[in-house]
Structures are given as structure tokens and as C-alpha cells.
């Protein structure tokens, strides 16, 4: 059997790749999308470019289109729910921030078969779910990594105590102190600060800080060394 010329072989491989990519593209665009409802304030603070990249990553991970919409400013619950309904006829899932919980209830009544999710952040789970699915940020997912980074930050300093400002129950140790009220002063030997849900007032400018936050890194002070974004941990 004669060998296929190198040029023809390359063309055949190229066509095969295009066919495979086209096959997966058809599957991707025919799958039900995930609808993410954001409020304009979140979009502004998170950063549009970061939000775009996050949604690309999420879409690739879940192999689904991400349909992101901003809630109409000054819109009532019905208008916000309608905006979510208009984004996709039969989505795989619709995700609402906690502040739009009532709009999520309106949406669920209209689309009872759609998985309607309310993102609580670090707020406690409600006793009555009203047919909605409530999810929380998974702080523990990043906590050990944050502590390791804090240990590196205090490695070559005199102050070795790592302080966590947090509104969640976290374990304490000899070199790890948890403070659960923002008006409690920092210990004099604080070498690094991890903020989870609470930020001290006034905000210290001379201590390296690790934030659990969705804020755009461009908007935080220079002494914030690491940011852990847990805004979509439930995925």
C-alpha cells in the first residue's frame, strides 16, 4: 500500500481535529446553561475582566455555557426574577445572591423544575428552604493553605502570632488566635492577619494580611498579600 504524502496526511489530521472540535462544540452549546445572577455592585467590585475569566473557567470545568446577567437596578422581585427567566428558557441551574432571595422564590414558582440556588456566602443555612437550594462558601477548603502562607509571612519576623478575624468557628492553637469581633484590638505580637468575614477597624497598614474575599486585587491595600476568592465555592 503506497504511503500517504506528508502534506495530505497533515490535511487529513487537521480535518479530523476540526470534526472532533465541532462535535464537542455542538454538545457544549446544546447543554442547558447555568444562569448566574449578579448585582451591579458585585460586578463593579469584582472586576469585569476577572468575572469574564472566572466564568470561562467555570464553563470549562462544568462543560456548560455560563449565562451571566446583572439584576436590574432598583428592580422589584418580579422584575429580577423575569430577568433571570429571560436569560435561558430551561437552564441547568439558576444561581441568585442572598440579597435576591425573594426574587429566587418568585423564579422557583415560575420554573419549579429548575434547580434554583441561593448563595449565602458565610451566612447560616435557613431552617425552611422553601424549595430553594441554599449553599455556603466552603471556608475550610482554603483555610489550611491560608495558614501555611501566613506561617511563611511570619517566618523571618519577631512577631510570630497569626491572628484570624472570623465570624465562623475555627480552632485555636499556641501560634494561632481567633478573634470574632472587629472591635477587639490585635495582640501586640501579631505577625500576620487572616480576615474571614470580619475586618478589623481601623484596618492595619503595617501587618501582612490574607483576605477571604471576592474583591478585585486592584482595590485592596498593598499589605494584602493573598486573596482567596470563595464566591462560587459550592460548584
Q: What is the pTM of this model?
A: 0.79
Give span(s): CATH 3.40.50.2300, the chain: 31-135
According to the model, what pLDDT value does residue 32 have?
93
Query: Among the CATH numbers 3.10.20.440, 3.40.50.2300, 1.10.260.40, 3.30.230.10, which is that of 31-135?
Result: 3.40.50.2300
Asked if pLDDT for residue 193 goes beyond 70, the answer is yes
Average pLDDT, the chain: 85
Instruction: Select the more confidently predicted residue: 78 or 157.
Output: 78
- Residue range 106-125: mean pLDDT, rounded: 90
Comparing CA positions, the residue from 30, 214, 45 lying closest to residue 119 is 214
Instruction: Decide: residue 105, CB within 10 A, 0-12 exposed, 13-18 middle, 19+ buried.
Output: middle
pLDDT for residue 73 is more than 80? no
Q: What is the pLDDT of residues 133-173, one digit of tens each?
A: 998 887 777 888 998 999 999 888 888 888 888 877 665 55
| pLDDT of 101 | 93
More confident residue, 73 or 120: 120
Check whether 8 has a pLDDT greater than 90: no
CA distance 211 to 198: 10
Amino acid at each position: 500500500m503506497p504511503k500517504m504524502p506528508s502534506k495530505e496526511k497533515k490535511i487529513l489530521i487537521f480535518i479530523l481535529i476540526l470534526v472532533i472540535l465541532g462535535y464537542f462544540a455542538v454538545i457544549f452549546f446544546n447543554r442547558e446553561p447555568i444562569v448566574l445572577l449578579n448585582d451591579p455592585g458585585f460586578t463593579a467590585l469584582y472586576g469585569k475582566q476577572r468575572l469574564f475569566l472566572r466564568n470561562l473557567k467555570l464553563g470549562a470545568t462544568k462543560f456548560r455555557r455560563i449565562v451571566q446577567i446583572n439584576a436590574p437596578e432598583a428592580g422589584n422581585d418580579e422584575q429580577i426574577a423575569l430577568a433571570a427567566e429571560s436569560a435561558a428558557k430551561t437552564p441547568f441551574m439558576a444561581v441568585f445572591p442572598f440579597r435576591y432571595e425573594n426574587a429566587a422564590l418568585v423564579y422557583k414558582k415560575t420554573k419549579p423544575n429548575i434547580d434554583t440556588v441561593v448563595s449565602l456566602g458565610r451566612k447560616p443555612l435557613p431552617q425552611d428552604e422553601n424549595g430553594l437550594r441554599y449553599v455556603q462558601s466552603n471556608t475550610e477548603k482554603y483555610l489550611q493553605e491560608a495558614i501555611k502562607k501566613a506561617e511563611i509571612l511570619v517566618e523571618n519576623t519577631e512577631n510570630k502570632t497569626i491572628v484570624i478575624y472570623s465570624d465562623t468557628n475555627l480552632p485555636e492553637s499556641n501560634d494561632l488566635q481567633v478573634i470574632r469581633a472587629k472591635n477587639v484590638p490585635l495582640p501586640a505580637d501579631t505577625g500576620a492577619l487572616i480576615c474571614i468575614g470580619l475586618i478589623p477597624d481601623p484596618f492595619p497598614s503595617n501587618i501582612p494580611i490574607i483576605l477571604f474575599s471576592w474583591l478585585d486585587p486592584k482595590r485592596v491595600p498593598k499589605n494584602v498579600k493573598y486573596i482567596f476568592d470563595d464566591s462560587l465555592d459550592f460548584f
